[in-house]
Amino acid sequence: MMKYSKPALTFAEQVALIKSRGLQIPDESRAIRHLSNISYYRLSAYMLPFKKLDRDGNVTDIFEEGKTWDNVYNLYRFDRKLRLLIFDAIERIEIGLRTQIIYQLSHKYGSHWQNNERLFKDPLMFQEIQKHIEEQLTSKKKADFISHYLTKYDDPQTPPSWMSVELLYINHLSKICQNLNARNDVVNIATSFGVTSDKTFKSWLHTINYVRNICAHHARLWNIRFAIQPEKYKYLKPDKVWLSDVEVNTVQSSKMFYFLCIILFFMQTINPNSKFKKHLFDLFIKFPDVDVRYMGFPRNWEEHPLWKV
């Protein structure tokens, strides 16, 4: 252990440091402008693929010959656009999930099932959701449909599920699926999306919420190793396109490729005409220097039926 003693550098000093390590920066004023809007620390993660390795395979501070500021900045831009694309897809999954939860549980348990603590395993989770709904009901900026209910009805005090559950976020929806007492309820919701394992479905929702939070906080996506990994799954409804058993065995569930496959799987049900796949291919075309192997993409991935445009 040692004491940290590095001083803060000006933007010009940061550029000088990067140049001293071998990165070509033809337009220093442009690089300074970028650094003044995107911190050096944030950009440093996008420098790693362009640095030399030592004999043990560890990344050094020295850049490979011929690497330029544009290599780094374009990788940052790619990641930002990837994040926005994935965030939009997760929004569609969230809306579809909320719809199925409301529809199936309200038909089985009635309009106000969300107030029935006996439906859930974890009382703390139930209280968390109740608290969130209550906060939304008492907010000065409450939704118009909530205001309408509260001015017209006083029993029950909370609106029906098709209003109340609209106030919940995807982390709440995931927790509902994790904590429903009746396993068959989760199976039915999962099956509506073509997933025949409730365990896999809950795992996928957990990871989707995890990635959604990464997107919301503008953190790096393109080459991360997922801290919350989606379960590998081989048995899906036959009318859905999915990976073969061999592909499932070899794919890295901790990398972005498998997660993107999960998004494509959901889109087959939620929005079969989704342009997500096309937009993703367009992004790869726009940034041809981005090495998708860092994201866990296998060889010949674009030939798989799941990825056919």
Q: Which of 22, 45, 67 delimits the end of a domain?
A: 67
Strand partners, 51: 63
User: What gap in Å lies between CA 111 and CA 103, rounded to an integer?
Assistant: 10
> Does residue 15 fall inside a structural domain?
yes
Q: Tokens 């999306």 correspond to what residue?
A: 193
User: What gap in Å lies between CA 146 and CA 163, rounded to an integer?
Assistant: 7
Instruction: With H, G, I as helix, E, B as strand and everything else as coil, classify residue 126.
Output: helix
Q: Which helix (H) or strand (E) holds 51?
A: strand 51-53
Q: Which domain holds residue 159?
A: 76-307
123-132, 177-186, 241-250: least confidently modelled range: 241-250
If asked whether residues 138 and 158 sit together in one domain, one would say yes
If asked whether residues 41 and 190 sit together in one domain, one would say no
Identify the burial level of 45 via C-beta atoms within 10 angstroms of its C-beta, where 0-12 means exposed, 13-18 middle and 19 or more buried.
Answer: middle
**Nearest to 243, CA basis, from 257, 256, 223:** 257
In the numeric block, which tokens belong to residue 303?
């030939």
If asked whether residues 24 and 63 sit together in one domain, one would say yes
In the numeric block, which tokens belong to residue 141?
């900026």
**pLDDT tens across 158-215, in order?**
999 999 999 999 999 999 999 999 999 999 999 999 999 999 999 999 999 999 999 9
pLDDT confidence tier of residue 235, bands split at 50, 70 and 90: confident
Q: Which of 24, 44, 67 delimits the end of a domain?
A: 67
Q: Tokens 């579809």 correspond to what residue?
A: 96
Domain count, the chain: 2
